[in-house]
Structure 1
Amino acid sequence: MRAAPRAAPNATVLRGRAKRKPRVGVPGHPAMAASTSAPFFTVDETALADLNAFLRDARELVCARDSNAKKKTPRAERVTLVLGNEAADLDSVACAISLAYALHEANDDASRAYVPVVCVPREDFSLRADARWLLESVGVDVDALTFAGEVAFGDASGPIVDDRLRLVLVDHNALASKSEYASFATAVDAVVDHHDDEKKYPATAAAAVVPTGSCATLVAEPLVLDQSALAVYSETATRVFRETGPPTRLNAGDPRAALLLAAVLLDTQNLNSRATRVHARDEAVAPILASLSSTGDPASFHDELKRKRFDQSGLSPRDLLRRDYKQWRFVGAENKAWDVGVASFGVPLGNMAGDARAIRDACESFARERSVDALALMCAFDDEDSSSRAFRRQFAICFFDKTGDSDDVRFICASPLQARLVEPGGALSVALGGLEPVADETARDAFGGFAFEQGDPKGSRKKAQPALAAFFENASSSRR
């Protein structure tokens, strides 16, 4: 199944040219450590040019030229969209780009194109400071990426039936209820993910769902491991590439090596099993990617990525809520649907705004915008006030009354349902290592007392989501 650049002669020509001398970073965007003169990685110019040509042609293929056209359809006979998750974090973006390009290279079906999609609006991508910095440092043309809302679907009555549209999900395994792709759920053809398996994709889909620390590990394995290793770690290679030829192994300087390494390092906190989930497969892939990208100091690379991710001091409360946001619809007792959002960010709850009222108003406005019944806030940060700069996580939960007009969303203080959600020994408390009320008065006031310190610094959204699902799928129809 062929990706867009094969329709463009220059993409094939670029791959056929003699390799140019590898370059370090990108002119104007050097990939340099903040405290040393040593580069983080080396990128081969020709490989980078090929990748950017692929991205430009892929975008051109699926985005309508005329924004006023009544019917917009992807200008390709058959298209597979490789979708990152709706949070569009670094792992998701690196995986979507890398897997789509790998499938393109392996494809021998002239009628099929592969297109990676970053599933946030283009204007929101600037909020992902770490991902933006990484892509620009590597030299990936961000303007050439395809973002949410840019794929021209046109009349959707037939694409699935006649196989004109397929979806591949990376770094998630279920389409969000409000996703623009939700109506195409039966077109999901493959899944590569490391979260708890919700099993909401078609039974015919090729699924590689393994609880590694990073989804990038699963994408990288078929591109870097030798055949003996792939005989053991074969999910992605044998399932996702089932209708193409075998994936092409990465050469030294391939920009995807730096992208995938960054994702593995950031997701696993530099392979630190004391801080987060780390799988033996993450540990096996990381040094290979480091060698291919000539990353001699992965720790410094990780530290710079982490600085970029957690430097959110200048963001407004609304920007903090939307920069890394996911939303689910859970169907509970009496067939009642609960729309639940989870926002992740990197500043303490009490530092989101100048006072409690401003934080609460921002949450209420955001809930109205997203039409949610409940909004969970999960923040992770290094404690600058402690001598050890301990890594901490906090959790808060807001419930809203949506029973009236859809525009009339009101903050509910201290509902019985809130209390049950966070009760000691409950699924959520266990998943997050226990929940203790925060000491910060602003945070307590903003969330009506439902703001907590997490006992487990590894308790990320990956752990919270299954517990939230279990709770709301058993919740009564009462909103209070």
Structure 2
Amino acid sequence: MSKISKFLDLIKRQALNEVVLVCGNQSADLDSIASSISYAYLHYQKYRFTKGLVIPLLNIPEKDLALRKDAEFVLTQNGIKGSQLWFTDDLSKFDQFKLIMVDHNIPQGEVAKCNPTHVVGIIDHHQDEQKYLNSDPRVIEECGSCSSLVFNYWYDLIGDDVKECATLLASAIMIDTNNFTQRVKSHDEKALKIIKTLGLYNVSAFTTNFERIQESKLDLEGLSMNDILRKDYKQFVFNGNTVGVSSIVKPFSWLDKHFDIEKETSSFGEEHKLDLLVLMTAYTTNDQFNREISFHDVFKDLSERCIKGVKDKLNLNRISGNRFTQNNLSASRKQVVPYLEQTLTDTD
């Protein structure tokens, strides 16, 4: 049994007093999951329970973990079982809690609805919303993966003791940076340098592991369209407009062969009480990376306004209807969401 696994068992046995939740964002991708578990474990290594009971919580219902095959693969590699983790289903167990956010800096999803008493820490790589300025740590820096920031933060505090989380965090960094070849910033480079210093880096082993994780991430077999839309999903409210953004690892042409997209997006939008649903595909064909985006009105007519607001920034070419190829390949959801927010809050 790994040390992380033993830690997760240990906190399951504790009385729920002075709870501090370490929570990733509402998409609960591998980066958020690795960051939250590692932060909680490394915090325990440094402080034990002297600063409260620090619990990693995944910002999804337990049943949705199965949609994230890459995360399940990496968790299994690290000796972690889903039954050892905490999910939004568990929020009712906490009378109150403090919050540490990783991979986001504004509370999201079901966690946001619970009104945590205090936000006491942030480590993130998204746009700084300039909230919770007194939280400590408050690390919001541009980089490829939040896991790099978590790794570096704890290495600076506890040194080589970060080793136990190196594989878990490195897996997320590799996926976010395409095995250290894309979106790599200085913090990602620092994390890789530390991993090498610790004697944990092997090019062949890392590449093989990256390929296996990526294969798991791209595996949509057995998933319904509703599952695919939920698999990597975030929801926002901009100026009174509820907007959902779903990231998908297959092109629209693949989705069209398997599903009635308009019917499925309409049903999903109504279920989530959305005004607008945005789909973003990202996939590779013949070694060429591609992006697409589509806009689906649900309870309000917002798509044309949003298309007009983002088309130049994203360099869009219309495929048909409200479906486009996105030629600005560097703009992931992390960049697109602020563009949507600006468009929907602009009063001009």
Percent identical across equivalent pairs?
29
Q: Which of the numbers 62, 65, 68 marks the counterpart of 1:122?
A: 62
Which secondary structure does the structure 2 equivalent of 1:401 belong to?
Answer: coil
Q: Which of the numbers 134, 140, 151 marks the counterpart of 2:80?
A: 140
What's the CA shift for 1:251?
5.9
Q: 1:420 is matched with which residue?
A: 305
Q: 2:316 is matched with which residue?
A: 435
What's the CA shift for 1:189?
1.0
Are 1:285 and 2:175 matched, yes or no?
Answer: no
Q: Match of 1:264, as an amino acid?
A: I
- Which structure 1 residue ranges, 4+ long, deviate > 6 Å from structure 2? none
1:177-225 deviation line (CA, Å, top 9, x unaligned)? x5243342552111100011122x323223110011110110001333x
What's the CA shift for 1:149?
1.6
Distance 1:97 1:419, change over 3 A: same
Are 1:211 and 2:142 matched, yes or no?
Answer: yes
What's the CA shift for 1:314?
3.8
Q: Match of 1:96, as an amino acid?
A: S
Q: Match of 1:270, as an amino acid?
A: N
1:60-459 superposed matches below 5 A:
60-61=13-14, 75-107=15-47, 110=50, 112-153=52-93, 156=95, 159=96, 165-176=97-108, 178-185=109-116, 187-199=118-130, 201-206=131-136, 207-224=138-155, 230=156, 246-247=157-158, 249-250=160-161, 252=163, 254=164, 256-273=165-182, 277-289=183-195, 291-297=198-204, 298-331=206-239, 337-354=240-257, 358-383=260-285, 388-401=286-299, 415=301, 417-423=302-308, 426=309, 428-432=310-314, 434-438=315-319, 444=320, 449-459=321-331
Asked which structure has the greater CA Rg, the reply is: 1
In structure 2, stretches of 5+ residues that fail to align are: none
Q: 1:42 is matched with which residue?
A: none
What's the CA shift for 1:313?
4.5
Distance 1:401 1:142, change over 3 A: closer
> Is the 8 Å Cα contact of residues 88 and 110 (structure 2) preserved in structure 1?
no
> How far apart in 1 are the matches of 2:262 and 2:162?
50
Which secondary structure does the structure 2 equivalent of 1:302 belong to?
Answer: helix
What's the CA shift for 1:459?
1.6
> How far apart in 2 are the matches of 1:279 and 1:111?
32
> How far apart in 1 are the matches of 2:118 and 2:224?
37
What's the CA shift for 1:294?
4.9
Which secondary structure does the structure 2 equivalent of 1:420 belong to?
Answer: helix
Distance 1:421 1:57, change over 3 A: same
> How far apart in 1 are the matches of 2:62 and 2:77?
19
What's the CA shift for 1:465?
0.9
Q: Match of 1:191, as an amino acid?
A: I
What's the CA shift for 1:272?
1.7
Q: Match of 2:99, as an amino acid?
A: L
Which secondary structure does the structure 1 equivalent of 2:243 belong to?
Answer: strand
1:449-478 deviation line (CA, Å, top 9, x unaligned)? 0111110222210010110111112269xx
> Is the 8 Å Cα contact of residues 102 and 248 (structure 1) preserved in structure 2?
no
> Is the 8 Å Cα contact of residues 23 and 99 (structure 2) preserved in structure 1?
yes
> Is the 8 Å Cα contact of residues 127 and 319 (structure 1) preserved in structure 2?
yes
> Is the 8 Å Cα contact of residues 89 and 128 (structure 1) preserved in structure 2?
yes
In structure 1, stretches of 5+ residues that fail to align are: 1-44, 62-74, 160-164, 225-229, 231-245, 332-336, 403-414, 439-443
TM-score (structure 2 length as normaliser): 0.91
> Is the 8 Å Cα contact of residues 59 and 87 (structure 2) preserved in structure 1?
yes
> How far apart in 2 are the matches of 1:283 and 1:110?
33
Which secondary structure does the structure 2 equivalent of 1:471 belong to?
Answer: helix
What's the CA shift for 1:394?
0.6
